[in-house]
Structure 1
Amino acid sequence: MRLFVILIVMRDCRRHSALFLRLAVVPGVAVVLVMMLSGLVCYSFYQQLTEARRGNVEMSRLHRVLTAAYWLSAERGPANVAMTADATRRAAAKAELAQARNQTDLALSRLVDLPDSQALQARLSGARAAVDRVVDTAPSQRTLADLQDAIDGMAATSAAFQDRIHAVASAIIKRMHTLASPVRLAVGLSTFRNRAGLLGSMLIAPINMRRNLPPANRTRVNQLIGEINADWDQLQFHVGLESEEAAVFDAWRNRTRERYMTHGLALVENTVRQLQEAEYTTLNAADFTARYVLAMQPVEIWRHRFFEILEHRYAEKARRAWRHLVTVISAALAIMVVAFLAIGRIYWRLQYPFLHVSRDVVELAHDRIFRARDRPPHDKALTPLFDAVDILADRLAERRAVTHQLRQLADMDSLTDLLNRRAFERQARQWLAGYPNEPISLISLDIDHFKQINDRYGHLAGDRVLCELANVLQGLTTDDVIASRFGGDEFAVLIRAGWARSQAIAGQLQTAVRGLEVGTDDDVTIDVAVSIGIAEATSSDLSSLMHAADEQLYAAKTQGRDCIRTTGGGPV
């Protein structure tokens, strides 16, 4: 008997030892796999961190080069003013020119690795000397040739600097191919600014000397205008920018279009015409320079904002990669610690309790609600596990309630809190299933000139208009009236009623919209109007009803907007 008991104990010991080994293998393998996976993920995030930092360094270097190019190009303005100033303004003009040169020299001094910088400095010194000779010459003794030669000297210096910009940009792209798109875009902005400045300089000498525009200058002006238009077409492509970055880019592009491409080029063309027709009485070099420089201001702000976007992007990438790296390392360490602790706590009393818990989890997985059963004998360390299963059952019940709420949220438009199109169409098909026992009408509407509102006041103001219109629609909804935003500025109202009520609701809607006062951040009130089309169901087919309402909406649009059209044959 004693031998039998010993054999039973030995058998149980072997069984539990085997169980312990089987259970211990899983955490051990998990530790190894976690270490390997963590190493790969950490390496990936480290590469991202390194690339973000390199990108930030490279774009900062390009920013310094393009900033120097801007100050070199901007120096032409004060130089032109100083060379054309009379005796009363000569001192002030020379002081402004000295200040501009200091800015240029400061920007150039920060370029420690600019290709062939000594030759560029020599060329700049020669061009400045030519400018100084014209400035120091009495206005009555200045000649058109001397003035033009000095202007051409500064332009040639800027052109030489542009060659170095392209060399720097090519080197950056060669080192980091991922920067090709933003680098080319930044260089394109710099080239655009330089050509715009050069275009204005081509007119300074004839304006000051009150001479007809020389054929060489006229040819160069036409060439520069063509190049500027070509550059402008290229600057509309902002590949690689995220949505918010592209919005900022487009905003400053639009300001540049308004200030320079419209007013700046118009100023140039008008001045060329006056020079060709010898209308010198209203021409003044200083006034032309001031107006032209003002027109070019958005170009430099555009370039500066573009670099702000890039610097923020790479800084955010670096921060994000660093956070991920720290998180992965921390998680890996935590998992390894937990795994080692789990191996130390595995023993034979875990077997049956785990089986017990597994049956409970299976019931939870099949979404079966159950009452707590009697717990088998177990180590006190497992008590929280049994409690956790009970809590899990409660949480799953809560999750079912939350899931129901989420399904409701999935049917709502996030901006306006109206039904989205999918939910609207589902409800509409349910209502139409009762046709012809009960009439169904559909109102289709959209906001008149909504694109102009967005373009003029901005998308935030456009969103306010959408929300205010949604509030009006919310006030009209009842058990028999539902409203939806289909997308953009398109809305629909489904009415479980016939002509009389649908037309009355459309009239209320139009009156309420006309009374809306939507303000912008600049305290401007936006006038809002809508075009409305009404159709009554003639079958249970939703597509036919929507098509009929859209036809009436189109008719309202083509007949002046801010009106109501119905399938009854005319405006309401």
Structure 2
Amino acid sequence: MTNHTDNELEDRKSVGDIRSAKLLRRKLQWLIGIVVACTGVLATEIIAASYSDFVIARRNLVEVMAFCRVLDTATYLSAERGPSNGVMGIGVATGSVQARLAEFRSRSDAALSEIIAGATDGSRSEPAAALSPILAEVQRRLVIARAEIDRIAALPPERRDLKEIQLAIEGMFAVIDAMRPAFDWNIQRLTNTDPDLAGIAIAAHMLANLREDGGRLASQLMAPVAVGQPLEARNIADSERTRGRLQEIWSVVGRPGALPGLKPKNIADIAAIEHEFFGEGFAIIDSVVSVGRHTGHYPMTAEQFTDRYVPKMKPLETLRRDFMDATVERLASSKTQASIKLTIASTATFALFIVLLILMRRARSLVFEPLLLARHSIIELANDRPIARLSGKGGEGEMGRLFDAIDVLRVRLDERTLLMKHLERQAETDELTGLLNRRALELIGGAEDAAGNDKNACLILMDIDHFKQINDTHGHLVGDIVLKETARIIRYSVRSSDLVARFGGEEFAVITPGDDLEAARALAERIRSNLARAPITLADGRELNVTASFGVAGADANPGWKGLIESADTELYRAKSAGRNRVCG
């Protein structure tokens, strides 16, 4: 009665301890959750701000680069007018101008194809599908203008008409005019993306207009020059308007500080524009106008006019490219800095979480986990159950010394257990083959006799044929290999319920519980066949054919373990006497 009461008290105490441990763990988990949640909110705010800056910087860079491609395409289309005008002129070397025109057209087509493909590029902040109809109209007008230029260029010089040439030139003007909505769309996109980019977009557009109007200035005079006729009033008026527009644009973008972000080294571009374009370029225009007002005997052909004038516009294009390159470089730097800040914020947040979790785990380990672990470990050791290594888990204080003492006890108990298992394994296992040894087989057989199950099994004894000859011919190391390979083939051939043992020397035994004699003979035949058809490969590459003889006996006709062994041994002797490599039973 007393023992029963003590057991009940012990059970209640154990349940109470478990509940107390669970309650403490739950409270600590709630505390950790609250701290982690507060830290997570703060970290999310920091990372979100850094990520937002990175997204804006990346989006600005993508949109500005897309605008650069549109500006470059417009420049290529504008530049294409030079060789187009030249090919329609009289007295030109047709082959060289045609080759140059093909080169310029190829460049224009490649640039136009690129921005058409980019209209639906997923890398942009949002699809630019609104550009598609604009670019389609540009392509349509370009095809028409080129066809008209090619038609005129194919005519004999005397059949080329001034008005047709003028219309063809204006057709190329129409291509650029069709591009203007694309400029406006990109400027609006940049403004919506970041208002700080509006000034850059407008300045870039004005620089592009400088290059376009500079080309128009010459193209507006080109038709009369191409056919050698005086300038009409319309040509002179258009030229004057374009000249005035150029000077007006330059008065805005050409003054110091008008182009934000332009590097000091690019200031020389402004001086080059003043000297080469507005100086020498305007002088070329003035010379053509002065002659063309009175006569059509120009001092140069259309091709020569183009070759002299176009290089004077190079500084305009250079300034625009330098300005946009500086802008792209600045935005790329901003993106890199935003990316670095985002990486630092993310890394710092991750490190903070790691430190926080470490501190929380450390606090838990110092508050109650050591005591719970020590108690649990002692109970487990008392019940002869294994525990994990505890040394070092309690720190350097009293708890650490307690764990060290428990660990010493654990090590001693583990050593004793391992020693016992090792002794048992040595007593029951054959060291060479890893199979059961004869002693273990005898114990199993004796246990079966005692339990009265000796009639429910068959015994197979097998002996490797001519094993002594193998040892004498190849040496005992090869003999060991043969024994191990034979053991492997036996294990491969039998079922998981069969018991396999090395019976002694080159002799092996297989107990097949629950089988009749015919099933045991079939198993013996399978082992014999597998061994005979699987040559054993030696270390030097040679192959050794090994066979074995088998004796099979059933417990139903041979009561008792000793009787079963004697009967199987008799059958094995009969198999060897009958020529070996066979099964008898």
Report the TM-score, using the length of structure 2 for normalisation.
Answer: 0.50
8 Å CA contact 2:89–2:225 kept in 1: the answer is no
Instruction: Give, in whole Å, the separation in 2 of the partners of 1:102 and 1:95.
Output: 11
Would the alpha carbon gap of residues 198 and 326 (structure 1) be closer, same or farther in structure 2, given more than 3 Å must change? same
Q: Which amino acid is 2:319 matched to? A: W
Shift of 1:164: 2.9
Other-structure match for 1:63: 68
Q: Which amino acid is 1:59 matched to? A: V
Instruction: Give, in whole Å, the separation in 2 of the partners of 1:86 and 1:270.
Output: 20
8 Å CA contact 1:260–1:296 kept in 2: the answer is yes
Shift of 1:304: 2.0
Other-structure match for 1:196: 214
Would the alpha carbon gap of residues 344 and 109 (structure 1) be closer, same or farther in structure 2, given more than 3 Å must change? closer
8 Å CA contact 2:292–2:298 kept in 1: the answer is no
Q: Deviations over 1:220-254 (max 9, x none)?
A: 11100111111112224766834xx3425533233
8 Å CA contact 2:73–2:112 kept in 1: the answer is yes
Shift of 1:125: 1.5
Match status 1:293 vs 2:310 = yes
- Which piece of structure 1 moves more, 329-338 or 59-68? 329-338
Out of 227, 233, 240, the position equivalent to 1:209 is: 227
1:406-485 matches, within 5 Å, as: none
Other-structure match for 1:128: 146
Match status 1:149 vs 2:167 = yes
Other-structure match for 1:417: none
Shift of 1:70: 0.9
Shift of 1:127: 1.2
Q: Which amino acid is 1:108 matched to? A: L
Q: CA RMSD in A?
A: 3.2
Q: Percent identity?
A: 28
SS in 2 for 1:202: helix
Instruction: Give, in whole Å, the separation in 1 of the partners of 2:44 and 2:279.
Output: 57
Other-structure match for 2:580: none
1:113-124 matches, within 5 Å, as: 113=119, 114=131, 115-124=133-142
8 Å CA contact 2:61–2:328 kept in 1: the answer is yes
Other-structure match for 1:86: 91
Which structure exhibits the higher relative contact order, with contacts defined as CA atoms closer than 8 Å and separated by 6 or more residues? 1
Shift of 1:74: 0.6
Q: Which amino acid is 2:172 matched to? A: M
Would the alpha carbon gap of residues 239 and 325 (structure 1) be closer, same or farther in structure 2, given more than 3 Å must change? farther
Q: Deviations over 1:40-69 (max 9, x none)?
A: 332222111101111111112111211111
Out of 339, 345, 348, the position equivalent to 1:322 is: 339
Instruction: Give, in whole Å, the separation in 1 of the partners of 2:115 and 2:150.
Output: 25
Other-structure match for 1:98: 102
Other-structure match for 2:368: none
8 Å CA contact 1:77–1:289 kept in 2: the answer is yes
8 Å CA contact 1:255–1:298 kept in 2: the answer is yes
- Which piece of structure 1 moves more, 115-124 or 224-233? 115-124
Shift of 1:218: 0.8
Instruction: Give, in whole Å, the separation in 1 of the partners of 2:33 and 2:151.
Output: 84
Match status 1:73 vs 2:78 = yes
Out of 240, 244, 247, the position equivalent to 1:222 is: 240
Would the alpha carbon gap of residues 28 and 122 (structure 1) be closer, same or farther in structure 2, given more than 3 Å must change? closer
Other-structure match for 1:241: 260
Match status 1:48 vs 2:53 = yes
Instruction: Give, in whole Å, the separation in 1 of the partners of 2:160 and 2:52.
Output: 62
Match status 1:180 vs 2:184 = no
Other-structure match for 1:282: 299
Would the alpha carbon gap of residues 345 and 153 (structure 1) be closer, same or farther in structure 2, given more than 3 Å must change? closer
Length, aligned pairs only: 323
Shift of 1:277: 4.2
Would the alpha carbon gap of residues 294 and 28 (structure 1) be closer, same or farther in structure 2, given more than 3 Å must change? same
Instruction: Give, in whole Å, the separation in 1 of the partners of 2:233 and 2:43.
Output: 70
Instruction: Give, in whole Å, the separation in 2 of the partners of 1:109 and 1:281.
Output: 39
Would the alpha carbon gap of residues 100 and 344 (structure 1) be closer, same or farther in structure 2, given more than 3 Å must change? closer
Other-structure match for 2:323: 306
Q: Deviations over 1:396-444 (max 9, x none)?
A: xxxxxxxxxxxxxxxxxxxxxxxxxxxxxxxxxxxxxxxxxxxxxxxxx
Instruction: Give, in whole Å, the separation in 2 of the partners of 1:345 and 1:143.
Output: 94
Q: Deviations over 1:266-322 (max 9, x none)?
A: 221222122224383523222211111100112222222222222222221111111
Would the alpha carbon gap of residues 223 and 33 (structure 1) be closer, same or farther in structure 2, given more than 3 Å must change? same
8 Å CA contact 1:213–1:272 kept in 2: the answer is yes
Other-structure match for 1:166: 184
Q: Please tell me whether Structure 1 or Structure 2 has the larger radius of gyration of its CA atoms.
A: 2
Instruction: Give, in whole Å, the separation in 1 of the partners of 2:358 and 2:134.
Output: 65
8 Å CA contact 1:28–1:339 kept in 2: the answer is no
Report the TM-score, using the length of structure 1 for normalisation.
Answer: 0.51
Runs of 5+ consecutive residues of structure 1 not aligned to the other structure = 1-26, 347-378, 381-572
Match status 1:109 vs 2:113 = yes
Q: Deviations over 1:129-165 (max 9, x none)?
A: 2211221111122222222121121112222222332
Q: Deviations over 1:245-264 (max 9, x none)?
A: 34255332332222212221
SS in 2 for 1:110: helix
8 Å CA contact 1:31–1:335 kept in 2: the answer is no
1:476-515 matches, within 5 Å, as: none
Instruction: Give, in whole Å, the separation in 2 of the partners of 1:74 and 1:143.
Output: 23
Shift of 1:30: 10
Instruction: Give, in whole Å, the separation in 1 of the partners of 2:150 and 2:113.
Output: 22
Q: Deviations over 1:147-196 (max 9, x none)?
A: 21211211122222223322332233234433212111111111111111
SS in 2 for 1:84: coil
Other-structure match for 2:278: 261
Instruction: Give, in whole Å, the separation in 1 of the partners of 2:55 and 2:162.
Output: 56
Instruction: Give, in whole Å, the separation in 2 of the partners of 1:45 and 1:107.
Output: 35
Runs of 5+ consecutive residues of structure 2 not aligned to the other structure = 1-31, 120-130, 364-394, 397-585
